[in-house]
Amino acid sequence: RAKQRGRDAFHLFDPNHDRLLQVRHEQRQRFVDALTNNELRLHYQPQVDMRTGQVVGVEALIRWQHPDLGLLAPGQFLPTIDATPLEVDLGEWVLEQAMRQLVTWQAAGIALPINVNISPSHLLLGNFSQRLGELLAQYPSVPPAMLKLEVLESAAMHDIQAALTTMAECQALGVNFAIDDFGTGFSSLTHLRQLPVDLIKIDQSFVRDMLSDADDMAIVESVIYMANRFQRPMLAEGVETLAHAQALIELGCELAQGYGIARPMPADELPQWLVAWPLRADWTALGKPH
Ligand code: C2E
Ligand code: MG
Ligand code: MG
Ligand code: MG
């Protein structure tokens, strides 16, 4: 009875609260169904060396093929499962799917590493490296270096000691790391130097406006300078135009990903894209003398 009264008292202050909780619960339940009903897809976005035109890898990006709403981008459903156990379920699904894709491509003669985005709570769960080891053991034909884990700069900084431990364990398995959205997470140079990452991804928000915004240009220049001094490869996200590509090459950043090169695509469209890409002379001859 006291409980009942408590609930009524609560309603006096916020009549919508229960309703909101219920909506969130329903959304999460719907996502559980999506996982079991095979409604999730990975799309792949190529990463290239702008100097040589070589394709160096792909990033796996989650999509939800919703029966009523169509193809949903991660921004439309990841916030619902943020910091819930579903985030880990999704993460494990994505990792397994990427391993299967690597096997499929291996058979087709396509040898491109896959970058997988790992959510902070998944990485810092405590048994991440153990589960990763188990997964790798299930796919013995796939070299662990074909998998690269993208970790948000902010996630690594949130609990640097835990992140460093887990990352070192994964590295011992042969799996490499990229630091994602670099420039947005306030990491100190000391921390950056400690992180076992072999790719720094410059956040697309800085790249997008670098040609019109002097502050963004300054950030891009600083990240490139620092990555070079620490001898870490770097990649620019959000490369949409040839002007971006040219400016980045001049600044010393050669790896890139962005709509100008390719949008994320279903796995079965990638072979065709790989054939067409070398023919796009404007993009693939950027490093050659004019
Ligand atoms: P992210 O890892 O930084 O991925 C890059 C995002 O930028 C992707 O958005 C990609 O489609 C978009 N993008 C690529 N090139 C361009 C460009 O030239 N211009 C613009 N405007 N955008 C570009 P998407 O696919 O919507 O993913 C958004 C974020 O969702 C990702 O950011 C990542 O943080 C997260 N995410 C995606 N897939 C997964 C996943 O499987 N697991 C987890 N935990 N997070 C994921
Ligand atoms: Mg990423
Ligand atoms: Mg990013
Ligand atoms: Mg991002």
Q: Which atom of ligand 1 sits closest to the CA of residue 181?
A: 3
Pocket test for ligand 1, best of 117, 151, 283 (most atoms within 8 A of CB): 117
Is the separation of the CB atoms in 259 and 208 below 8 Å?
no
Q: What is the pLDDT of residues 17-57, one digit of tens each?
A: 888 888 888 889 999 999 999 999 999 999 999 999 999 99
Q: Which residue has the tokens 């188990």?
A: 134
- As a whole number of angstroms, the distance between CA 222 and CA 228 comes to 10
| Tens digit of each residue's pLDDT (9 = 90 or more) over 260-280 | 999 999 999 999 999 999 999
62 lines ligand 1 (CB under 6 A): yes
Report how far residue 262's alpha carbon sits from residue 255's, in angstroms, rounded to the nearest whole number: 14
11 pLDDT above the threshold of 60? no
pLDDT (0 to 100) of residue 76: 94
Average pLDDT, the chain: 91
DSSP letter at 248 equals: H
Listed residue (91, 94, 78) closest to 124, CA to CA:
91
Mean pLDDT over 254-261 rounds to 97
Q: Is pLDDT at 6 greater than 70 in this prediction?
A: no
Q: Which atom of ligand 1 is found nearest the CA of 240?
A: 18
**Cβ 193 vs Cβ 179: under 8 Å:** no
If you compute the radius of gyration of the chain from its CA atoms, what whole number of angstroms results? 21
pLDDT higher than threshold 50 for residue 127: yes
Q: Is 110 left (phi over 0), alpha (psi -120 to 50) or beta?
A: beta
**β-sheet bridge partners, residue 61:** 43
* CA of residue 52 to ligand 4 center, whole Å: 26
pLDDT tens-digit series, residues 60-90: 999 999 999 999 999 999 999 988 999 999 9
Residue with structure tokens 């720094």? 200
Among 207, 211, 264, which residue's Cα sits nearest to residue 239? 207
Summarised one tens digit per residue, pLDDT across range 139-151 is 999 999 999 999 9
Residue 85: CB atoms within 10 A of its CB come to 12
Cβ atoms of residues 44 and 58 within 8 Å = yes
Question: Does the pLDDT value for residue 3 go beyond 60?
Answer: no
Instruction: Provide the pLDDT for residue 196.
Output: 86
Q: Quote the CA–CA distance of 166 and 200 in Å, as a whole number.
A: 18
Q: Whose CA is nearest to atom 29 of ligand 1?
A: 74
Return all residues near 45 (Cβ < 8 A) that are at least 6 apart.
58, 59, 61, 257, 262, 263, 264, 265
Specify the pLDDT at position 46.
Answer: 98
Q: CB-side exposure of 18: number of CA atoms within 13 Å? A: 9
Q: Is the pLDDT of residue 290 over 60?
A: no
- Residue pair 153/111 in contact by the 8 Å Cβ criterion: no
**Over pLDDT 90: what percentage of the chain?**
73
Measured from the Cα of 122, ligand 1's closest atom is 44
Q: Is the pLDDT of residue 195 over 50?
A: yes
Other beta carbons within 10 angstroms of residue 157's beta carbon come to: 18
SS3 (DSSP) at 131: helix
Alpha carbons 24 and 168: distance in angstroms, whole number: 36
